[in-house]
Amino acid sequence: MPGQFTLVLHSHLPWLANHGRWPVGEEWLYQSWAASYLPVFAMLRRLADDGLRDQFSLGITPVLAAQLDDPHCGASMYEWLADWQLRATEAAVDADPDRQALGQREYRAAADALAGFETHWRHGGSPQIRALAAAGVVEILGGPLAHPFAPLLNPRLRDFSLREGLADAHARWGYDPTGIWAPECAFAPGMETEYAAAGVGHFMVDGPTLHGDTALGRPVGDTDVVAFGRDLVVSYRVWSPKSGYPGHAAYRDFHTYDHATGLKPARVTGRTVASEDKKPYEPERVDAVIDRHVDDFVAQVRRRLIAESERQGRPALVVAAFDTELFGHWWHEGPVWLERVLRRLPEAGVQVGTLASAKRDGFVGEPVDLPASSWGSGKDWRVWNGPQVQHLVQLNAEVTDTALDTVDKLVGPGSVRSLVADQIVREALLTVSSDWPFMVSKDTAAAYAVDRAHKHAHATREICDAALSGRDARAATLAGNWACADNLFRGLDARRLRGGLR
C-alpha cells in the first residue's frame, strides 16, 4: 500500500477536581479514567510488549495530566472504582435476571479495573506516560496550560500558556513534545511564528482548514512548523452522528442508565428508540459486529490511501483524529475496536505511523497560509465567540486584563517568586478555558460551565483587589485558600509573564 495512516487521539478534560461531583464534576473524570484511559493504556502496554512502535500520536493536555497525577484525584478514583463494584453487587443480587446479568458483568469489569489501577496507576499517570514514550509505542503530543481557545487569548498570556504547557510536560514526563494538539484545533494567522519560537514542530488542524487537501502535512507560512489536517472522509466513518459505528444497534447505549445503580444496561437497539424501550445489552452479540467495523475501516483506509496517492502522484498521508474519551467512555466497545484496527492495518499492507514519523519520512508538501479556523461547528470560531457566549468572551478579556495588570505590579525584574501572582495567573487561565463556552454553545451542562467561568473570574478579581489595595496578608490568604481547590501547575511562575512575546 502507498503512503501512511496516522491515528491521533486527543485526551482532555477540564479541571474538575474539587468542583462538584455529580451530575457534572469529578464523576466525569472518573468515568473517563475507568472507561477510556485504563483500557487504552493497557492496550498500549500490550502493543509495546509485542514490539510495536509508532502506533499513533497521543495528545494529553496539561490540565488532564495534572488530574491524573493529583493525589486527591488518585484516591478518589480508587474509591470510585470500589463504589462501582458495590453498585454492581447490588444489581447482581436482584431478582430480575437481566439486572443479575448486568451486575455480574459489571462486577467483573470493576474488579479488572481495580486490579489494573492498583498495579499501574497508584503513583499517578506520569509513570505510565513516561514508560509509553520511552518504549516508542506512541508519540506524545503536548499543549498549552488549561486548554484555552488560543486565537481569542491575549497574545502575551497565549505565549505563556504554551511555553508553560511544554515545560509542564518536561517536568512530568522527562520528555519534550515536538508536536502539540492545539486546543479545539484552533488557529489564527501568525500563530505559526509563536509555535516556532516555542519549539513546536507540528500541530493539528481540521480538514477544511486545508480545504480538504489533507494528504500531506504542510509547512505554515515562512516557518518549518507543519500543520497536519484531519481526513474527514475516514474520521467520520467512525464518529458521525448519523452513520458512525458507535450507533450500531448491538453496541451498548451510552445514554440509558439503570437509575438505581447508575449502570448502563441497554444496547442501542435503534437510533429512534426511547430509552425505556431499549433492549438489554448482550455482549455475545457484539464481537462479530466489531470485526465487521474493523474490516470496514481498514478497507476505507486502503481506498483512501490509494485514491489520494493517485490524485497527487505521490504516496499520501491519511490522518484520522478523535477524542480519546470516545473509546470506552462514549463508545463502550471502542477500545477493543481500536486494538484490532491497529493490529489489522499492517496485515492489510498499511503502514502505520505517528505525526512525527510522517514528518520525518517526508509526508510533507508545499507551504500554505492557513485561515482562521477550528474543528468546531462551521469550522470557524462561532462556538467560542458566537452571540450565545459573548458574555464569556467579555468576561475572559476583562479577567485577563486585570490579571496581567496586577501581575505586572507584583513582580518585576529581580523580584522573588510571588505565590499570590502565581495564583492570579492560575485562576485567570482556568477562567479562559475553552471548555466553558463550548459547553454553553452545545448546551451540555451549560449552567455548570457558566458557574465555573465566573467562579475562577471571581477568584482572580478578589486576589487582585486585595493585592492592589496593599492588603498583602489578605491577598496571601485568598491565594492560599483558592490554591486548595485549584492546586494544579505548581511549577507555574508568574515572573515568566514579564516581557510579553519573546
Other beta carbons less than 10 A from residue 286's beta carbon: 19
Please state the rounded mean pLDDT for residues 293-313: 98
Instruction: Name which of 249, 217, 497 is nearest 360 in CA terms.
Output: 217
Q: For this structure, is 323 an active site residue?
A: yes
Residue 76 confidence (pLDDT) above 60: yes
Q: What's the CA gap between 142 and 226, in Å, rounded?
A: 15
Residue 109: its pLDDT value, please? 98
Residue 498: its pLDDT value, please? 67
Fold of 386-497: immunoglobulin/albumin-binding domain-like (1.20.1430)
Q: Where are the alpha helices (DSSP H) in 313-369?
A: 334-347, 355-360
Q: Is 25 helix (H, G, I), strand (E, B) or coil?
A: coil
pLDDT band at residue 23, thresholds of 50, 70 and 90?
Answer: confident
Residue 242: its pLDDT value, please? 81
Q: What's the CA gap between 350 and 352, in Å, rounded?
A: 6
Residue 412: its pLDDT value, please? 80
Residue 458: its pLDDT value, please? 98
Report whether 150 contacts 158 (CB < 8 A). yes
Q: What percent of the chain has pLDDT over 70?
A: 99
For residue range 215-238, list pLDDT tens digits in order.
Answer: 999 999 999 999 999 999 999 999
Q: What's the CA gap between 212 and 222, in Å, rounded?
A: 21
- Please give the order of strands across the beta sheet that includes 202-205: 179-180, 202-205, 226-229, 218-219
Same fold, 4-142+177-377 and 386-497: no
Residue 55: its pLDDT value, please? 98
Q: What's the CA gap between 234 and 230, in Å, rounded?
A: 9
Q: For this structure, is 184 an active site residue?
A: yes
CATH 3.20.110.10 fits 4-142+177-377, yes or no: yes
Task: Name the grid cell of 120.
Answer: 499501574
Residue 501: its pLDDT value, please? 37
pLDDT band at residue 499, thresholds of 50, 70 and 90?
Answer: low
Please state the rounded mean pLDDT for residues 391-417: 94
Query: For cell 455482549, what's the residue?
Result: 283
Q: What's the CA gap between 91 and 93, in Å, rounded?
A: 6
Q: What's the CA gap between 322 and 239, in Å, rounded?
A: 8
Window from 111-115, 118-122, 414-418 with minimum mean pLDDT? 414-418
Q: What's the CA gap between 173 and 133, in Å, rounded?
A: 8
Q: What is the mean pLDDT of the chain?
A: 96
Q: What's the CA gap between 242 and 62, in Å, rounded?
A: 32
For residue range 26-60, list pLDDT tens digits in order.
Answer: 999 999 999 999 999 999 999 999 999 999 999 99
Query: For cell 464481537, what's the residue?
Result: 287
Please state the rounded mean pLDDT for residues 266-272: 95
Other beta carbons less than 10 A from residue 233's beta carbon: 17
Q: What's the CA gap between 163 and 155, in Å, rounded?
A: 12
Residue 420 confidence (pLDDT) above 90: yes
Residue 243: its pLDDT value, please? 86
Tell how far CA 126 is from the center of its chain.
16
- Of the candidates 27, 112, 213, 323, the residue annotated as catalytic is 323
Report whether 61 contacts 143 (CB < 8 A). yes
- Of the candidates 106, 159, 164, 184, the residue annotated as catalytic is 184
Residue 122 confidence (pLDDT) above 60: yes
Residue 480 confidence (pLDDT) above 70: yes
Q: Name the residue ranges covered by the structural domains of the chain.
A: 4-142+177-377, 386-497
Report whether 423 contacts 415 (CB < 8 A). no
Residue 502 confidence (pLDDT) above 50: no
Rg of the chain over Cα atoms, rounded to whole angstroms, equals 23
For residue range 174-192, list pLDDT tens digits in order.
Answer: 999 999 999 999 999 999 9
Report whether 350 contacts 298 (CB < 8 A). yes
Instruction: Name which of 304, 336, 344 is nearest 320 in CA terms.
Output: 304
Residue 276: its pLDDT value, please? 94
Residues 139-154 as b or e (16 or more Cβ within 10 Å = b):
bbbbbbbbbbbbbbbb
For residue range 362-388, list pLDDT tens digits in order.
Answer: 999 999 999 999 999 999 999 999 999
Report whether 79 contacts 378 (CB < 8 A). no
Positive/negative CA dihedral, 265, 269, 270, 275: negative
Query: For cell 459505528, what's the residue?
Result: 245
Element (H, E) at 322: strand 317-323
Report whether 304 contacts 215 (CB < 8 A). no
For residue range 335-365, list pLDDT tens digits in order.
Answer: 999 999 999 999 999 999 999 999 999 999 9
Query: Dihedral of the CA atoms 196, 202, 204, 208 (nearest 10)?
Result: 80
Q: What's the CA gap between 343 and 340, in Å, rounded?
A: 5
Q: What's the CA gap between 96 and 92, in Å, rounded?
A: 9
